[in-house]
């Protein structure tokens, strides 16, 4: 078995995540980048390169997990290939620990890899970070229950991104393991509003209209139709524009709704954007009416760019968006209340500006400088196990 690491030693860290547009991949990538910046070697393993990852950075390595096509495989055995990749990287890159993001299927794959390595007398402790839908949506499917429960109980450390997700996990699964809450984060130093803000804003709001924005992966859980309904109510009272960023399964339905509500002329669809900071810096309000949201990283990114948030009061959102300070919270589906709250801010510049400052101040609490030490502390604990 491997030697223990001292507190100041650099670690060799394996990270497994989904590479696609989604909060868990963003968190895993930004965490890996921050760890690499501190001198640790970080090895990403995924089926394609995470979209915010720059593999040319020092200390960052990417190991692609590719599944061979074979006529027998109606369902390509991704989990087996991923487990083999983890074993390979752990052995040849001398990983000290593995951090898997999103429980399904990564926690059980980590367990399999750990057992294979154990048979080779190699110790690879793993930490599982729960992100949300792995527990609140997909994880609720009873067909996953035995595997999730087992692999979470076998995880050497479990973290969740909010207190709310921790409660949900403990309610849904019988977990004997402790869950540590480590919230999502942003790097506040990177959130500088654009210097040529006026010109950029004019492009989308030529007559000084207020700008509402929504960013998501357009899945049902995001209730993007509520964004349009709220916008429709707001635009009846004040001149405004809505910017939609992202793409996903609900895109077509949203296009139809915008035609039905006759709001298309005031809606700007930007599609997928790797880094939303620029567009956030011209927005006045961020709208996030999700059905469930374990944290709401997109809301935090908006707040870091001084954009107050109109959101639902579900899941971890109240931990991020403080009602009456950084924005407002409403019941899921209460589009009237969300519209009233939005108008309260958009009709009163003084109030809007104070919410903008509050949003920024609150976002600072989630700066990477405050969150990275929490992960590093857990990694050190992991290495003692």
Among 155, 294, 311, 341, binds ligand GMT (CB under 6 A): 294
Minimum separation from the CB atom of position 80 to ligand GMT (A): 23
Minimum separation from the CB atom of position 162 to ligand GMT (A): 8
Among 296, 312, 358, 379, binds ligand GMT (CB under 6 A): 296
Nearer to ligand GMT, 22 or 289 (CB): 22
User: Which residues pair with residue 12 across a beta bridge?
Assistant: 41
Minimum separation from the CB atom of position 17 to ligand GMT (A): 9
Interface with ligand GMT: number of residues (CB under 6 A): 21
Nearer to ligand GMT, 2 or 140 (CB): 140
DSSP state of 48: S
User: Which residues pair with residue 311 across a beta bridge?
Assistant: 288, 329
Phi, psi angles (nearest 5°) of residue 22: 170, 150
Nearer to ligand GMT, 217 or 321 (CB): 217
Structure tokens of 147?
């595997």
Phi, psi angles (nearest 5°) of residue 14: -95, 135
Q: CA-to-CA distance for 93 and 13, rounded, in angstroms? A: 9
Residues 6 or more apart whose Cβ sits within 8 Å of residue 383: 4, 5, 11, 96, 97, 125
Is 8 strand, coil or helix? coil
Nearer to ligand GMT, 231 or 295 (CB): 295
Among 62, 102, 328, 366, binds ligand GMT (CB under 6 A): 102
CB 305 within 8 A of CB 193: yes
Segment contacting ligand GMT by CB under 6 A, of 32-40, 150-158, 200-208, 293-301: 293-301
Segment contacting ligand GMT by CB under 6 A, of 142-150, 229-237, 252-260, 294-302: 294-302
Phi, psi angles (nearest 5°) of residue 378: -65, -40
Minimum separation from the CB atom of position 296 to ligand GMT (A): 5
Structure tokens of 281?
């810096």
Under the binding rule (CB under 6 A), the answer on residue 22 touching ligand GMT is yes
Annotate 313-333 with DSSP letters as a single string: --TTHHHHS-BTTTEEEE-TT
Minimum separation from the CB atom of position 278 to ligand GMT (A): 20
Contact set with ligand GMT (CB under 6 A) = 22-25, 27, 102, 131-133, 136, 161, 184, 217, 221, 290, 292-297
């Amino acid at each position: 078995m491997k030697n223990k690491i001292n507190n100041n030693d650099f670690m060799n860290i394996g990270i497994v995540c989904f590479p696609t547009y989604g909060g868990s991949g963003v968190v895993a990538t930004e965490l890996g980048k921050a760890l690499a910046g501190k001198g640790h070697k970080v090895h990403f393993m995924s089926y394609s390169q995470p979209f915010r990852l720059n593999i040319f950075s020092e200390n960052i390595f990417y190991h692609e997990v590719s599944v061979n096509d074979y006529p027998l495989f109606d369902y390509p055995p991704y989990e087996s290939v991923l487990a083999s990749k983890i074993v390979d990287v752990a052995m040849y890159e001398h990983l000290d620990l593995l951090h898997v993001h999103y429980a399904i299927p990564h926690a059980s794959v980590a367990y399999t890899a750990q057992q294979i390595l154990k048979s080779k007398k190699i110790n690879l402790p793993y930490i599982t970070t729960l992100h949300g839908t792995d527990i609140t949506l997909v994880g609720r499917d009873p067909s996953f229950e035995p595997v999730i429960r087992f692999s979470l109980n076998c995880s050497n450390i479990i973290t969740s991104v909010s207190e709310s997700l921790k409660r949900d996990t403990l309610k849904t699964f019988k977990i004997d393991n402790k869950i540590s809450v480590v919230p999502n984060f942003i790097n506040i130093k990177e959130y500088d509003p654009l210097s040529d803000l006026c010109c950029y804003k004019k492009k989308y709001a030529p007559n000084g209209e207020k700008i509402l924005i929504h960013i998501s992966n357009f899945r049902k859980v995001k209730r993007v139709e509520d964004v349009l309904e709220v916008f429709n109510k707001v635009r009846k009272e004040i001149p405004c524009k809505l910017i939609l960023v992202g793409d996903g399964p609900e895109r077509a339905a949203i296009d139809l709704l915008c035609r039905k509500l006759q709001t298309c002329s005031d809606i700007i669809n930007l599609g997928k954007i790797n880094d939303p900071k620029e567009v956030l810096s011209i927005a006045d309000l961020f709208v996030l009416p999700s059905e469930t949201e374990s944290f709401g990283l997109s809301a935090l990114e908006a707040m870091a760019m001084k954009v107050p948030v109109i959101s639902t009061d579900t899941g971890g959102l109240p931990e991020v968006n403080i009602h009456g300070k950084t924005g407002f919270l409403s019941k899921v589906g209460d589009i009237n209340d969300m519209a009233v709250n939005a108008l309260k801010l958009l009709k009163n510049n003084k109030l809007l500006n104070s919410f903008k400052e509050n949003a920024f101040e609150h976002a600072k609490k989630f700066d990477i400088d405050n969150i990275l030490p929490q992960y590093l502390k857990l990694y050190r604990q992991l290495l003692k196990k």
